[in-house]
Amino acid sequence: MKTYARFPDLFEELFYQALRIRLFEERIIALYPSDKIQSPVHLSIGQEAAAVGACRQLEPADLLFCSYRSHAYYLAKGGPMPAMMAELYGKVTGCGQGKAGSMHLAAPEVGLMGCSAVVASTIPHAVGAALAAKLQKQSRIIVAVFGDGATDEGVYHESLNFAALHKLPVIFLCENNGWAAYSPVAARHAYQLRKQAQVYGIPASAVEEGFCPLKVYKAFGRVVDQVRKTSSPCFIEVKTSRYREHVGIGDDFSSGIRQRAELEAWQAKDPLIQRQDLVAKYTPDIAAEIDAAVRYAEESPWPGPEELLKDVI
């Protein structure tokens, strides 16, 4: 990831990265009614700190596997913004040449190895990439990013077991926003996330203040150090909050699923809301970058018919 000499401290740098993601997604919200983006978007607004704090600890060679809620990771790992916006527009210059949309972002040049819309399905990929890293004596580590809902799936448990059994350099990063679509954790889990990982002998920790990129950064750094040192898996849970609806640009209040108060308590601690001084300081730069990405997307051509059957085999 790029570092900015101009930041007075690490907090501001991380703040900048988180703000960049939030403003990018707010631009999606602004554009969405125009139907220029015809792709189901799973926004990370409220959850940016997890991606920013984690990715700041990773090297470009470290690999990341994510879900459909991956805008934040794409940007935080260093994926180019214009190619991402073009992908959301369905343009041939997009990071997936217009075949991926919002849910299948990838940027292998910076280690984002794929995002899947089938819940939990990339978790074993991270384990497999870690197996390959071990057998080829690579020094990279691999990160699987997923939500609390993904841990309901059998393949998650298969993946934890295999990683622990073979001592693979993989981090299981669970963004616990408390919901799988419209189903709360309490309606789904007989287990407790960290205890469950520990059953496999996997060290498990948590970040309670998932709104703070610096806190995530520090906690994730400890996990990264441990995995690099022991070449064995770790689990980390980042408690977080999704401000928008599961998919799309709406919220969960009009449907009565969630209470405003729940969110407001979290937002009262969210630096992207509380630090308006920094928001004002960095917004012009970021807005200009987003404008350029939008322009790139709008000016780019659609994929032509020759693309339809390309890359099938």
Ligand X SMILES: Cc1ncc(C[n+]2csc(CCOP(=O)(O)OP(=O)(O)O)c2C)c(N)n1
Q: Which two tokens stand for residue 251?
A: 């919220």
Given candidates 55, 72, 119, 290, which one binds ligand X under the rule CB under 6 A?
119
CA distances in angstroms from 313 to 92, 104, 105, 309, 310, listed in the order given: 19, 18, 20, 9, 8
What is the rounded CA–CA span in Å between residue 202 and residue 182? 29
Residue 201 engages other proteins in binding (rule: CB under 8 A): no
Please state the closest distance from residue 148 (CB atom) to ligand X, in A: 4
Mask for 86-105, x = binds other proteins (CB under 8 A): --------xxxxxxx---x-
Mask for 150-169, x = binds ligand X (CB under 6 A): x-------------------
- DSSP annotation string for 46-88: T-HHHHHHHHTT--TTSEEEEES--HHHHHHHT--HHHHHHHH
Phi, psi of 4 (to 5 degrees): -115, 110
| Distance, first Cα to last Cα, the chain | 32
What is the rounded CA–CA span in Å between residue 217 and residue 23? 21
Residue 49 touches which of other proteins, ligand X, none (CB < 5 to 8 A by kind)?
none
Task: With CB under 6 A as the rule, give the number of residues binding ligand X.
Answer: 14
What is the rounded CA–CA span in Å between residue 80 and residue 78? 6
Q: Which of residues 110-149 bind other proteins (CB under 8 A)?
A: 113-114, 116, 118, 121-133, 135-136, 138, 142
Residue 150 engages other proteins in binding (rule: CB under 8 A): no
What is the rounded CA–CA span in Å between residue 139 and residue 157? 25
Beta bridge partners of 143: 64, 171
What is the rounded CA–CA span in Å between residue 53 and residue 110? 16
**Residue length, the chain?**
313
Residue 117 engages ligand X in binding (rule: CB under 6 A): yes
User: In this structure, are residues 56 and 217 in contact, taking their beta carbons and an 8 Å threshold?
Assistant: yes
Q: Which of residues 4-63 bind ligand X (CB under 6 A)?
A: none
Residue 179 touches which of ligand X, other proteins, none (CB < 5 to 8 A by kind)?
ligand X
Please state the closest distance from residue 209 (CB atom) to other proteins, in A: 31
Please state the closest distance from residue 37 (CB atom) to ligand X, in A: 19
Residue 215 engages other proteins in binding (rule: CB under 8 A): no
Residue 233 engages other proteins in binding (rule: CB under 8 A): no
Residue 180 engages ligand X in binding (rule: CB under 6 A): yes
Residue 118 engages ligand X in binding (rule: CB under 6 A): yes
Please state the closest distance from residue 170 (CB atom) to ligand X, in A: 18
Residue ranges that bind other proteins, judged by CB under 8 A: 63, 65, 94-100, 104, 106, 108, 113-114, 116, 118, 121-133, 135-136, 138, 142, 154-155, 158-159, 161-162, 165, 310-313
Residue ranges that bind ligand X, judged by CB under 6 A: 69, 117-119, 146-150, 177, 179-181, 246
